[in-house]
Structure 1
Amino acid sequence: MDDKTDPPAAEDVLRVEGITKAFGPIKVLRGVDLHLAPGEVLGVVGSNGAGKSTLVKIITGYQPPDQGQLYVEGEPVDLHSVQDARSHGIETVFQDLALVDELSVYHNLFLNREVTSGGRFRFLNNRRMRADAMRYLEEIQVDIPSVDLPVEKLSGGQRQAIAVARATRREDVKILLLDEPLAAMGAKEAKLIIDLVKSLARNRGVSMLVIDHNYTHIFELCDRVNVVEQGRITLDKRTADTSLAELTEFMVSSYRQQVEGASA
């Protein structure tokens, strides 16, 4: 894939240009170019050690790149922390979800962003948080028994939905990164998350970057797929223009070439 990229397009909510990252002598990213349109769901796949996790950490502000530039809505940004990334509308839901099992659904939705009332002595405004949580979950069509339930009582799919809802509750969220969002889910629970992802993309224009090892999930969730190999994007195709069989064959062929190259 050509290392050169076009100037940041106005329609791209996120653009990554020439990102490199090394840890000592180990070059993890070797000039990654990636773009994401408003309301688009992009799947990123690759073998272990290909550089996916490092790329995500750079986009979320957890690690700085050595070289290259990130653009959000056409404007260059330098992300120095996770909070810095959030200020640019970038949120992440990692596989561990970071939910507090003992707290209610609505308290988890407002975790670290609690609504308080009162004067000198502030107290939690549980009534408002509860009402706002019910309204938002209804808006994005997440069906759970009650917002009063502790999240430990929910199914895996429902817990994932609450984590996604918490990440997208603010209206200024533009980009959501999802790490293995359908991991270890049955068909019914997976459909809940697939429907939620598609609804957020279509109705709220949230752009999403999905990291997943399961190629079937990529075709269920994503509009486009990028393959990361040895620190570069080696494939960029719309899922409608390829197939599970073609993607699998591409990955197998690439793996064979890497093994043959290492043994040569």
Structure 2
Amino acid sequence: MEDGISSFWGPVTSTIEWCEKNYVYSSYIAEFFNTMSNIPCILLALIGLISSLGQRFEKRFSVLHVSNMILAIGSMLYHATLQHVQQQSDETPMVWEMLLYIYILYSPDWHYRGTMPTFLFLYGAAFAIVHSQFRFGIGFKVHYVILCLLCIPRMYKYYIYTEDVYAKRLAKLYAATLLLGSLCWLCDRFFCMEISGWPINPQGHALWHVLMGFNSYFGNTFLMFCRAQQRGWTPKVVNTMGILPYVKIEKPKTQ
């Protein structure tokens, strides 16, 4: 896609371009909508981080929210520049984040607790090194999908064992935003030629960013509720100004 009127960052070196014309609004931002659509992701992750720190949840959730922000920032750099190095700053945190989800989902029932974080850390470090030296196309996507699929059975288990109606609603919102966001991603990726002929480009990849920002927030909040139940913290899902849900807990005085 050679649509750009000018390019501050030079020729495109990333392995993937998306269905958005390059450098339409600024010579410093290659894909404007795909870049700016990461801002809601950062804000939602920041809200989650404030909630986690304010109520003294375990550090794993603070790290999870921070990783969401890092991923969104990496995505902004990638879409703003369309450079291979910045593409890695998007893709590598994607894998790190999924490894963190695997840890949060499976660690409560893992009998050898010291081995899981060590293995996941070494795996993430090894992937970052290999990914920095080699370009992966379909291989990266397959690898990422496998990591996502590893999380689904555990999320479903948490869902069926959760009786709270509002917590279940979080899980349903998580699933809905994931499905809708995936549809936007697929349409933008595989039907670009048709979409480019429309009077208005719906910016499917930008919609994917926004929906995945909410997806991460709903998923994180649901996991915080489940973990609070495991710890006996009497969690309750409440809404900020009647809009955005978060988990309110009451820890026993002994904790």
Length-normalised TM-score, structure 1: 0.24
Which structure has more RCO (C-alpha within 8 Å, separation ≥ 6)?
1
| Bigger proportion of residues as helix | 2
